[in-house]
């Protein structure tokens, strides 16, 4: 799948959620509808501190299910089945 040129950052992964590989995303908007409607999600790794240059390539993840949870969004991504994999996505942008 080719990365679209018009991607818009909608939120940031803040934590793993539970033990089954769900992630918790903090939306940039107070209304999470745009994030809930977007499928697939393109996740981009953060730049290491002090590193300047081109942004890392975004990787697509198919959203299996997502829901609002307080002021965040909890989502299950395809092929993400345990907490360790979900924790590795912390600080990625969506």
Q: Model confidence over 7-29: pLDDT tens digits?
A: 889 999 999 999 999 999 999 98
Residue 85 has pLDDT above 80, yes or no: yes
Question: Which pLDDT score, from 0 to 100, does residue 52 have?
Answer: 67
Cβ atoms of residues 35 and 73 within 8 Å? yes
Going from the C-alpha of 91 to that of each of 1, 2, 45, 47, the distances in angstroms are 23, 23, 7, 10
Question: Which pLDDT score, from 0 to 100, does residue 30 have?
Answer: 83
Closest CA to 20 of 79, 90, 93: 79
Residue 1 has pLDDT above 80, yes or no: no
Q: Model confidence over 32-79: pLDDT tens digits?
A: 898 999 889 999 998 777 666 667 788 999 999 999 998 999 999 999
């Amino acid at each position: 799948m080719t990365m679209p040129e018009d991607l818009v950052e909608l939120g940031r992964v803040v934590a793993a959620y539970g033990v089954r590989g769900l992630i918790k995303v903090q939306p940039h908007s107070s209304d999470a509808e745009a994030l809930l409607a977007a499928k697939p999600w393109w996740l981009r790794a953060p730049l290491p501190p002090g590193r300047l240059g081109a942004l890392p390539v975004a990787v697509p993840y198919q959203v299996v299910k997502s829901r609002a949870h307080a002021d965040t969004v909890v989502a299950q991504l395809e092929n993400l089945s345990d907490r360790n994999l979900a924790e590795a996505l912390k600080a990625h942008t969506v």
